[in-house]
A and B are shown apart, each in its own frame.
Chain A
Amino acid sequence: MSASLEKGIRVLKEVIDAPIASYFNSCVHCGLCAEACLFYTETGDPKYTPIHKLEPLRRVYEQEYTLLGRLKKLVGLSKPVTDGELDQWQELVYNSCTLCGRCSAVCPVGNDIVYMVRKFREGMSVSGHAPEGIDEAVRRTVTLGSPMGIKLPAVQAQMKHAETNTGLAVPMDVEGAEYMVIMSSMEIINFPEYLESIAKIMHQAGKTWTLCSTGFEATNGGIQLGNSDLAAVIVSRIVEGAERLKVKTVISPECGHAYTALRWEGANLIGRPFTFKVQHIIEVLDEFRQQGLIKTEGFESDKLTFHDPCQLARRGGVIQQQRNLLNSVAKNFVEMPDAGFMNWCCGGGGGVTAIEEAEPLRLEAFKRKKSQLEAVKPDRLVTACAVCRSTLEEGLEHYSMDIPVVGLTELIADHLVETRPLPQKEPQA
C-alpha cells in the first residue's frame, strides 16, 4: 500500500500547466460556478462551490510555481497541504462532482473548472484519497476486465441471447470489420437490448462489425478515479484490440464517460494519435440516418423528453444528433428547460454512483432533474447513457415519479424499417 501525500503532491506538480495557472489567477470569487452546479443549487451549501473544490490544488500551485508563493513558503508564511485536508476534500472532489462541466461553461473569466477537478483527482488518487467505491471499480476493471467484474463468458452469454432474439449473428474478433463495438458493463448486465439493437441496425445498414474478446469493456473507471496511468491500462485494451483487428471505427456505446475516455482522453493517455476513428453510437446512428442507410417508420405518440448525458452533449459535442433521431421517431418530443449543451447532470456521473456514501447527496441533487421533468411532465424520458439511465430510474423512484426511462438506440431499433432478409441460419455446433 504505497499511496502517500508526497506522491500526490509530486503528481500535482506534474499536471499543473499554463491553463491551470491562468485559471487560478483569473478567479475573482464571483460564485457563478456555484450557481451552475447542481450540488450547490439543490443543497444551498456553499462548500460545494466548484472552485472551492480545488482549494488544495490552488495552494500547491501557489507554493510550487509562483515566485511570491515560494518566498512565502521559505519564510514559513504559507499553509501546506496536508493529508488531513485532502481527506476532508474527498467529499468535495468526488462525491459532489460528476465532472459534468457546467461550471466550466459559465465561468465569466473562462476557467475550465472541470478540467482542474480531473487533474486534481490525479493527486488525490495516488495519495490514497479517492473513495473506496471508485478504487474498487478500477481494481476490478484492471484485474478482472470490467468494473462490475464481468468477464468474457458473460459477454458471450449475452451474445447468444442477442443472436437468438434477433436471428442475426453477433460477430467477435472479425479482422477487417468496419466497426468495432464496445459495451459498458451496465449495458451487458442491465440493458441487453442494446446489443440486439446494434445487431439489427448494423445488419440493416449493411455494415460489417465485430466485438473484441480482449477489449469489450467501454467503461473506464480510471477517468473517474482520475488516474491517467490506470486509465491508460484500461483504454489500451480497446486500442490494442482495434489495431489488431484493423477496424476503421470504434463505436462507443450509450455510456458517458466511456466516450470521454476513448474519444477525447484516449490518444493522450497512450501518447499517440489513434489510427482509427471513434464515434458514439448516436453519432453513427444519425450518420446512417442522414445517408439513408437506415430508415424508420411509425412514431411514438406519447410525450417524450430527452436527458442529455453530460459527457455526450456538453463534454462530447454530440448535441443535435439525438434530436434529429428522436424527431424521426416521435411525434410529441418536447424539450425540457435548459435542454441541449446546458442540460443539467443526472447526478450520477464522474464515479458518484460508485460511492455508496454519496447516495443521499446524489438523491438531493436529483431535485434539479426532478424540477426539469416537472416543467415538462413527459410520459417517458429518453436518454443515451446507461449510467444516466439507472441514476434517473433510482431518482425517479425515490421521488415517486412514474416516468419510464428509455434508451435512444433501442428506440430507433424498434422503429427500424427492416428490408434486408435475415441470414440463413447455420446449424448450431
Chain B
Amino acid sequence: MNELQFLTWVRGPGLNIAIAIFLLGVLWRLFEIYSLGRKKDLSAPRHTSGASGLHTVFRRSLPPPGMLKRSPVSYIGGYIFHVGLAIIVFLFAPHILLITNLTGLSWPGLPSQFVDMTAVVTMAAMVVVLVDRINKPVKRFLSTFEDWFAWAVTFLPVLTGWMAVKHLLLPYPTMLALHILAVELLLVVLPFTKLFHAFTLFGSRWYNGRVNAHKGVPV
C-alpha cells in the first residue's frame, strides 16, 4: 500500500468505521449509564438562588477555595491542555472544514501559525501532567494501564498532526494519514475508557449541583 492509498483509506473506510463505532459507543454508553435512574428526593428543598445542577456544570470548572495551591499542576496543566485541544480541534481551518462537511456548521478559524504554537504548548502541558502523574503518590497510586493508554491516545493525534504540518520524520502524506489514523483510534476508544468523561461530566456535575442546591449549598 503506498502512502496515497493509505491516506485514501483513512479518509474513507477508516473514518467510516471510527465514526460508526464512536456514535454506536456513545449512544450505548449514555443509555447504559443514565437509564439506571434515580429516586426522587422527598425531603423539603431549600430554594437558593445561584445554586442548581446547571450552575455547577459551569462553576465546577473553577478550582474550589484553597485547592489551586494544593495541586497547581492538576489545574493549570489540565486547563492548558484541555483549552489547547479545543483550540486545535475547533479553530484550525482544515478541522473546521471536516466538521462543516459532517454537520453543516461552520465558523472562522485562527491563523495556522497560532494553532501551531498552541499545539506545542498543549504537548508540553500534556508531558507535564504525565510527569506529575508519575511523580505524585496519589496519582501514581490510582493510575492503571487505562490512564497511561488514555494519555497516549490523546497525545498522539496532537503530535502526529503537528509533525505532519512541520514535515517531520516521514513524508507529509504518510504523516497526515498517521494523524488521521491516530484520531480514529481516539474516537474508537473514547466511549469505553475514562475519556468518556467528556460526555458524563455534565451529568455528574449536574447531579452533584442539584443535590447540593436542594440543601441550599452552591457548589
Contact = CB atoms under 8 A, between A and B. Distances in A.
Interface of A: 16-23, 25-32, 34-36, 40-41, 44, 46-47, 49, 51-52, 65-68, 104-112, 115, 263-268, 271-274, 277-278, 313-319, 337-338, 341-342
Interface stretch (B2-10, B103-111, B141-149, B169-177): B141-149
Contacts of A67: 28, 32
Contact of B71 (A32, A49, A268): A32
B201 A110 contact: yes
B141 A49 contact: yes
B48 A317 contact: yes
Contacts of B192: 68
A32 B74 contact: yes
A22 B183 CA distance: 25
Counting from the closest, the 5 A-B pairs by CB-CB distance are A317-B216, A110-B205, A46-B141, A110-B204, A31-B138
A342 B70 CA distance: 14
Nearest to A34: B138
Contacts of A278: 44
Given A52-B141, A67-B28, A317-B217, A26 B201 contact: yes
Contacts of A109: 60, 197, 200-201, 204-205
B208 A18 contact: no
Interface string B74-105: 10001000000000000000000000000000
B43 interface: yes
B143 A29 contact: yes
A17 B141 CA distance: 27
Contacts of B139: 29-31
A31 B71 CA distance: 9
Contacts of A318: 216
A18 B33 contact: yes
A30 B74 contact: yes
A141 to B, nearest CB: 21
Contacts of B46: 317
Contacts of B208: 104, 107, 110-112
Nearest to A271: B42
B197 A28 contact: yes
A22 B43 contact: no
Contacts of B57: 110
Judged by DSSP, the binding face of B is helix
Nearest to A342: B65
9 contacts: A17-B38, A18-B35, A19-B203, A21-B36, A46-B142, A49-B141, A65-B32, A67-B32, A268-B39
A22 B203 contact: yes
A218 to B, nearest CB: 16
Contacts of B216: 317-318
B161 interface: no
B157 interface: no
Nearest to B140: A46
Contacts of B215: 264, 315-317
A30 to B, nearest CB: 6
A110 B138 contact: no
B28 A26 contact: no
B207 A31 contact: no
Contacts of B70: 32, 35-36, 41
A31 B74 contact: yes
A109 B57 CA distance: 9
Nearest to A44: B137
Nearest to A18: B36
A110 B29 contact: no
B13 interface: no
A319 B217 contact: yes
Nearest to B146: A29
Contacts of A337: 66
B71 A22 contact: no
Contacts of B142: 29, 31, 46, 49, 51-52
B190 to A, nearest CB: 12
B34 A263 contact: no
B194 interface: yes
B60 A110 contact: yes
B38 A18 contact: yes
A313 B217 CA distance: 8
Interface centre among A16, A20, A25 (most CB of B within 10 A): A25
Interface in B4-59: 28-29, 32-39, 41-44, 46, 48, 56-57
A105 B36 contact: no
A26 B143 contact: no
Contacts of A317: 46, 48, 215-217
B138 A46 contact: yes
Contact of A16 (B36, B143, B147, B209): B36
Nearest to A111: B204
B186 interface: no
A60 to B, nearest CB: 13
A318 B217 CA distance: 8
B33 A25 contact: yes
Given A18-B38, A31-B142, A341-B219, 16 more contacts: A19-B203, A25-B197, A26-B204, A27-B197, A29-B139, A29-B142, A30-B139, A51-B142, A104-B212, A110-B208, A111-B204, A115-B211, A274-B43, A314-B217, A315-B215, A319-B217
